[in-house]
Amino acid sequence: MGLFLSELVAIDVLFVLAASILAIWIYFQHTYQYWERKGVPYLKPTFPYGNVKVIFKKTLHTTTDAKTWYDELKIKGHKFGGVYTFSRRRLVLVDPEYIKDVLTKDFNHFIDRNDHVDEKNNPKGAHLFNIRNPGWKPLRQKLTPTFTSGKMKMMFNSVLECSNYMIDFMKKDVQDGQDIDSREIMAAFTTDVIGSVAFGVECNSFDNSKPEFLNMGRRLLDGGKFSSLLIFIASICPGIGKTLGALAKDSLPKAFFTEVVRSTLEYRKNNKVRRPDFLQLLLDMHEEPTDSEKYVNFNQIVANTILFFIAGFDTSSTTMNFTLYELARNPQIQEKTRDEINTVLAKYQGKITYEALQEMTYLQQVIDETLRLWPPLISLERICTKDYTLRDTNIVIEKGTAIEISPLGLGRDPEYFPNPEKFDPERFTAEEKLKRHPYVHIPFGEGPRNCIGLRFGLMQSRIGIIRVLTNFKLSISSKTKMPLTVSSQYFLLKSNEKLYLRAERI
């Protein structure tokens, strides 16, 4: 009798399991007809992954899929198209006019990013990048004045001083006959800059005896044991991703940076110390009356100095890293860039100044061309916050739909950039830029919610590149596996290969 009951239980379990699988399959099949029902061109999904392909490459990130989707839709002649990440629907934009509509013209329908921050329980994680409407706009308005040209000039010398550590370190490596690990050196430089400007501390990341700030920064960027899984879950189901957010967080880095901010603020206040940096600007806002439009609380200070680290660390170091890579493999362009730098600096008695940077137009062309090929943000996402009708169609994009834009796809599109794999800064002369749609080159986003620190990041990148080129002649080390390829394992752009450079003193 007992055996018979066990068999019945086993049959019941199998029946429930089979019924559950069937229900899930039916749900997915219905979901996968969504774009077809709306009359939107789409890429055929596969159960249960949808259009996710990088899952087969042992990664949980879908950012490089955005370029694949862009390319496939472009080949089919579509201006936009639907895809699925598992069961979640996304609209991929291909035509730059639709990209302009979403990012700028009709921005009020697409204010939010695809985030999973819990603002109530994680106030120090609610920074400008991931905070949602209605909190986003007032915070942006408060922080925008901290990135004006005047504020950039104020912070300029702090960045320049940090570059001295980098050059001294590189000189020692060259003297010892060692190749330069470009990614690590640029990461250490940006860490020093952020430590100085955002946290008000001198951390000298090139000194191996003082690794704490750099190590904590890396732990912050890694996010924690479950960070990759959480990002993946959030990309297909934001509600669950938000609920599980606490699981992914490594609390130690946030506690470390909170204490750094707290102790620095207390020291400056008690000793009446002022410094020309980002933290001082936030401290001044903190001392405004609490009912002032400029006031920011302590948690907002911590959250946005952490954002400064997250945004500045990878984007600026990536920009410099790949710029040096392209210059090392294109010696004629490297020499032309160096000649312009030296010519401009001669007008300023050899000194690197904020004004001198503005005159280095070819250097900016080199950086723009690097950002075309190697945009730090592989994909841009927006969330439709209220139903929206696509221009010149009767297609309604429903609230909650994710919008996907691929700067990597746009930048390597031969329609806009013939022979796209070729590194050619002449693409970004004033005359050539006028020939293209302005929204085919958007490495840092565009519109009201573009990168607020873009101006600072470019200033930092220019200084780093200038210091390197005026001290060293670069070439690719034999240790570097060529060509570099884009990794699908990270949210921001990285190469699968490590970049080593040979540097000769000038």
The region, left, alpha or beta by phi > 0 then psi within -120 to 50, assigned to residue 13 is alpha
Pick out the residues of the known binding site for heme.
451
| Token representation of residue 367 | 């950086």
- Hey, what amino acid is at 397? I
CB-based contact 442:462 (threshold 8 Å) = no
The three state secondary structure string of 419-432 is: CCCCCCHHHHCHHH
Question: Is the peptide bond between 443 and the residue preceding it cis, with omega within 30 degrees of 0?
Answer: no
- Per the DSSP assignment, residues forming a β-bridge with 381 are 404
Closest CA to 325 of 471, 178, 483, 192: 483
DSSP 8-state symbol, 433: H
Residue with tokens 């990168």: 451
Q: Is 151 exposed, middle or buried (0-12, 13-18, 19+ CB in 10 A)?
A: middle
Q: H or E element: which one contains 34?
A: helix 34-37
Q: How far apart are CA 28 and CA 87, in angstroms?
A: 6
Pick out the residues of the known binding site.
451
Residue 233 — φ and ψ, nearest 5°? Answer: -60, -45
* Three-class secondary structure of residue 81 per DSSP: strand
Question: Is the peptide bond between 48 and the residue preceding it cis, with omega within 30 degrees of 0?
Answer: yes
Q: Is 127 exposed, middle or buried (0-12, 13-18, 19+ CB in 10 A)?
A: buried
CB-based contact 91:401 (threshold 8 Å) = yes
